């Protein structure tokens, strides 16, 4: 039996953070197994990346369900069947319901492209850039029922240069994410006792 913690990575889009995590797993820098990629968008590039790393894909359209809760109940059943112990949100553009959060309480990680508590929400990089502040950052935190407010696991500041465009700032923030997230997941797994979630 594989003793490594089993992760499910949730993505809605490009999947560059998924790839950073998968690469860290492949190099054994992150001692875990990615049980599956969960995606809510059929055309997402994350699906292509998962195939490249031979990670099973759970592709489920939320519109096929009568409610968000029904959709998440289905996902929770799939994750339990896969023995998933930790959920990693990596650009998953849906707010999870209390039902899902309680099912994996204290075992859901998210990465957010700002130095929380500043610039919460879906457009954090743009909001920081347009606000004219001198720095922003990247935060890895546990997910709670209040959006972008869970306990912080890791943070790193990113200076906003006078020469930055929104695109150049996004590129530098993503580079920090790709380094910080696998390291934060590694630290979390080392500090957390695991038994299969029933």
Residues classed as catalytic: 112
**For residue 117, is the peptide bond before it cis, meaning its omega torsion is within 30 degrees of 0?**
yes
Q: How many CA atoms lie within 13 A of 48 on its CB side?
A: 6
The span from the CA of 111 to the CA of 20, in Å, is: 13
Read off the tokens for 146: 């209040």
Burial group, residue 63, by CB count within 10 angstroms (0-12, 13-18, 19+): exposed
Return the ∠ at Cα 125 (arms to 75 and 20), rounded to 5°.
Answer: 55
The span from the CA of 118 to the CA of 107, in Å, is: 23
């Amino acid at each position: 039996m594989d003793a490594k913690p089993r992760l499910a990575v949730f993505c809605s889009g490009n999947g560059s953070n998924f790839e950073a995590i998968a690469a860290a797993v492949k190099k054994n820098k992150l001692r875990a197994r990615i049980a599956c990629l969960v995606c809510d968008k059929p055309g997402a590039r994350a699906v292509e990346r998962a195939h490249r790393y031979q990670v099973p894909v759970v592709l489920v359209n939320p519109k096929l369900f009568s409610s968000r809760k029904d959709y998440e109940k289905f996902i929770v059943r799939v994750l339990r069947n896969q023995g998933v112990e930790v959920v990693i949100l990596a650009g998953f553009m849906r707010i999870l319901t209390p039902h899902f959060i309680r099912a994996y309480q204290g075992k859901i990680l998210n990465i957010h492209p700002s130095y929380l508590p500043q610039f919460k929400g879906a457009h954090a990089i743009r909001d920081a850039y347009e606000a004219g502040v001198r720095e922003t950052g990247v935060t890895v935190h546990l997910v709670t029922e209040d959006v972008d407010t869970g306990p912080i696991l890791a943070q790193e500041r990113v200076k906003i240069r006078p020469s930055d465009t929104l695109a150049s700032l996004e590129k530098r923030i993503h580079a920090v994410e790709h380094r910080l997230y696998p390291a934060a997941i590694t630290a979390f797994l080392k500090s957390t006792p695991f038994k299969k979630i029933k």
